[in-house]
Amino acid sequence: MRNYSCTARFLVFVSLTVLLACNKTITNVNSDIPPLNPANEDLNAGTWKLVLLSRPDTFAVAAPAATGSPAYTADLNAIKGYQHNLTGGQRGQIQYWSAGGVLRWNEIMRGLVTKYNLPPYQLPTGTYPIPSSTNPFAYPLFPFSNPPYAARAYAYVSAAQYDALVACWHYKTLYNRPAPYEVDSTVQALAGKTSLPSYPSEGAVLAGVTSEMMQLLFPDEIASIQEKLQQQEFSLIASGAAAPSDVTAGEALGRQVADAFIARGRADNAGKAVGTPTIWASFVTTAQANGQTAWVSLETPARPPMLPLFGQVKGFLLDSADVVSLRPGPPPSTSGDSMQQQVQQALATVKNATRAQLSQVQFWADGAGTWTPPGHWNYIAAQDFITQNWSEVRWARNMALLNMAEMDAAIECWYIKYYYFNPRPTQMDPIIRTLTGVPNFPSYVSGHSMFSAAAAAILGHILPSRAQAYLSMAQDAANSRIFAGIHYNVDCEVGMTVGQNVGNYAVQRAISDGAE
Amino acid sequence: MLAVLALTLMGCGLRAQTDDDAVMMAKNNLCIGGMYSHSAWDYYWEGTYHRNNLNLGTVTTRMVGLMGIYGITRRLAIVANAPYVWTDASAGVLHGMHGIQDLSGWLKWEAYRQKIGSRGKLSLFAAVGGSVPLTNYLADYLPLSIGLHSRTVSGRIIADYQLGRFFATATGTYTWRSNITIDQQSYYTTEFIESNKVYMPNQETYIVRSGYRSNRLIVEAMLSGMVTLGGFDIRKNDMPFPSNRMDATMAGAHAKYEFQSKPLKGLSLTADGSYTVAGRNVGQSKMFGAGIFYIFDFARKGKTSETPTLKSN
């Protein structure tokens, strides 16, 4: 009896030790990274080629008060007042935002896409409600941030950030007002020091431009976005990096640039991309007229195809003639032997999936409820960019190049998908069960392949030492769709080629934008 | 979620006579057995919303388990169990999964026994247990993953009152669950998380059971509950996730017959069934199962004082 209680006591002791030793808190990968410390301030960035604005001074920014003026002294006192009474939470905010505004807003953006990437639940009638930007708080919440929506959203935010920062750099070098910690040695530099002029504040430009764009793209999030803006602006001032007048001027400039992009967005055809039942039916008629089996939704009840007119959205890099010229030849005929071979190959692959292939399918799935493939490539890019010690404007430029490539890849891909309206493997042979959900749009060509090849092309140009790694990741992403049983080989092979072609438009822009 | 829950629940039925009841093995007796169970649902709770899903149809989980119980002494037993699991959805496109799931083990100790009157007896048991995944199966593939891939450590208290051949047992368990690693680099719970690690909330389970118990036959009805201490609800039309708040209340029955005379002496048969009457982020499972066990008596040659049977009184 005594022995047993010893055993029991020992086991309880071991169990408690195990429990106490394990901290189960999950931390985000970028929760604790050092302040952005640019190796080069890119002081000529005010001359870099803009995306949408015609000139860096399209929006006027008034000259700042001189550093010796009473107004500036009041600014410095505001900073000192904040620094006198910083709470732990406020110091945490300063540390968080010091890693870089482009990075942090990009993470916030990925989070919003993830949160809103849910397909609407059907109505009792067996049809599906369509999210509406005019009634965003009612179910289904607006938006459904599926891959095309997300690609466009990332691109608009990134491109607007880039133009806004080019304008910001223009005024920084024009007015050349030093940072508060340079002017007054009693102001602490809590987020590191740079030699960059601080008027207007680049962080506040980002807060203004991004919050204005995001509120349009994710209207239910106005309150949370506004809170982020306030946290960033507080951090800029309290860290000693920016005077309140730097921040005010920056936010105003950012918002004006955003308004120009919003005006573009309202006229870029994305609002019409959902189509109508008549248009949906016309794809079927066209495919059948060409002697092809037309795509059908594999969901029950059948769901209308995802954003079938997204191919008509106005791209940042491609014009409508480019979109047509990049279209590949047709997939194998649905009635031919070659297609049967592709189907049999898909069946054999999914039946014999290894654990490593399952992991690859999950890793690259990026389906409903995730950041989407463009979001995944934003993450991949950001994790590498963090190590580069770039200025905010170079961060923004490289993210804009990536995301314009991704948006235009979405446009090209959706154009091809609905041009051919090709069925998925499981439609051709219902015995094919898949290892991830079957996306609700036609098969040819693979979106993952296009997004990934386009991303690999531009990222490989930006970071040549990583070019091979990006290409290999892109191939993994493409293959994952074959392993999952949701694509034929040909979808991914052709998708990789077309994706690379789209990515090269971004490379061409990068070569000539004045930043290299 | 859903498949996994079914497994958890099946465990309640199938492990009866083992780690969560008030029955001990005789000393140096080894009981080895196999179990089969079948669990299916077509309705589930998406958060608190009760729905079906035409893109899943009926989700079925089948399981074959191997179990061993060894009586170290009359008051201390060790239990181990490892299942092979198959999942399948009757509609939609998703591929089912199959594979070896988790090894679970328990050490059960009868800590206290007191006669009450001429026919009554009160017993208290304590048990510690744990489980560990035996293979690298996919956890974030609910409702068709074969398990959650968490390692667990559990503590359990069992109180049993027997009056003649009728009994009532109450069991309470606290299960600590380790975080898991998934193949994705980010996910959404009630917030966006960029990590491949997933926080797994701990769980409590409760069982009350009552019925008839003799050396030959046990027949009992039971009500059990599982409460996840944290976690989040599946959002509207979202997929389930391993760290969902999975709660369930199940009603079930269990029977065991043990042959008492040669040539079948040492052999016993079990049957189980249960139904999920209420839940949250779980499938509304109907489960049935059956098992066959054989007791090897390694004490027989040495001494004859212990009866080579499952001791129930």
Q: Quick one: pLDDT at residue A16?
A: 60
Q: Which residues of B touch A437 (CB under 8 A)?
A: 93-94
Q: Would you tell me which residues 477-496 of chain A have a C-beta closer than 8 angstroms to some C-beta of chain B?
A: 485
Q: Do B94 and A437 touch (CB under 8 A)?
A: yes
Q: Where in chain A is the domain with CATH 1.10.606.20?
A: 45-266, 274-512
Domains in chain B, please, with CATH? 2-311 (2.40.160.40)
Q: Is A359 on the interface with B (CB under 8 A)?
A: yes
Tell the burial category of A122 from Cβ atoms under 10 Å away from its Cβ (0-12, 13-18, 19+). Answer: middle
Q: In A, which residues are within 8 Å of B133 by CB distance?
A: none
Q: Is the pLDDT of residue A7 over 60?
A: no
pTM for the model stands at: 0.94
CB contact under 8 A, A358 and B186: no
Which one of B95, B151, B239 makes the best mutation probe of the A interface by having the most chain A beta carbons within 10 Å? B95
Whether B308 shows a pLDDT value over 80: the answer reads no
Residue B301, pLDDT > 80, answer no
Least confident span in A54-58, A426-430, B304-308: B304-308
What is the pLDDT, as a whole number, of residue A14? 61
Can you give the pLDDT at residue A136? 87
What is the residue-averaged pLDDT of chain A? 95
| Mean residue pLDDT across chain B | 90
How far apart, in Å, do the first and last CA atoms of chain A sit?
A: 80
pLDDT of residue A129: 95
Contacts of A435 in chain B (CB under 8 A): 94-95
Residue B249's DSSP bridge partners are B225, B278
**CB–CB of A139/A123 below 8 Å?**
no
In percent, the amount of chain B with pLDDT more than 70 equals: 90
Top-tier CATH class for A274-512: mainly alpha
**Main-chain phi, psi angles of B54, to 5 degrees:** -70, -10
Q: What is the pLDDT of residue A109?
A: 98
In this predicted model, what pLDDT tens digit does every residue of B180-237 receive, in sequence order?
A: 999 999 999 999 999 999 999 999 999 999 999 998 999 999 999 999 999 999 999 9
- Give mean pLDDT, residues A208-227: 97
B261: pLDDT strictly greater than 80: yes
A19 close contact with B: CB closer than 8 A = yes
ipTM value for the complex: 0.94
Q: Which of A127, A300, A434, A476 to mutate to test the interface with B (most CBs of B within 10 A)?
A: A300
What local confidence, expressed as pLDDT, does residue B22 receive? 73
SS3 A140: coil
Q: Write out pLDDT tens, residues A23-57.
A: 899 999 999 999 999 999 999 999 999 999 999 99
* pLDDT exceeds 50 at position A68: yes
Average of per-residue pLDDT across A103-115: 98
Q: Does A297 touch chain B (CB under 8 A)?
A: no
Return the residue of A nearest to B76 by Cα.
Answer: A4
Residue B71: list chain A partners with CB under 8 A. Answer: none
Which pLDDT tens digit goes with each residue over A441-477?
Answer: 999 999 999 999 999 999 999 999 999 999 999 999 9
Instruction: Report helix, strand or coil for A117.
Output: coil
Question: What was the pLDDT predicted at A1?
Answer: 41
Q: Is the pLDDT of residue B306 over 60?
A: no
A22 lies within 8 A of chain B by CB: yes
Lowest mean pLDDT among A124-133, A249-258, A365-374: A124-133
pLDDT at A23: 81
- Confidence at residue A22, expressed as pLDDT on a 0 to 100 scale: 66
Q: What percent of chain A has pLDDT over 90?
A: 94
Interface test with A, best of B52, B56, B188 (most A CBs within 10 A): B188
Which chain A residue shows the shortest CA-CA distance from B202? A24
Of B96, B199, B239, the CB nearest to A24: B199
For chains A and B, what is the number of CB pairs under 8 angstroms? 121
CATH dotted code for A45-266: 1.10.606.20
Taking residues A309-318, what's their average pLDDT? 98
Residue B312 pLDDT: 41
pLDDT above 80 (res A17): no
% of chain B with per-residue pLDDT over 90? 86
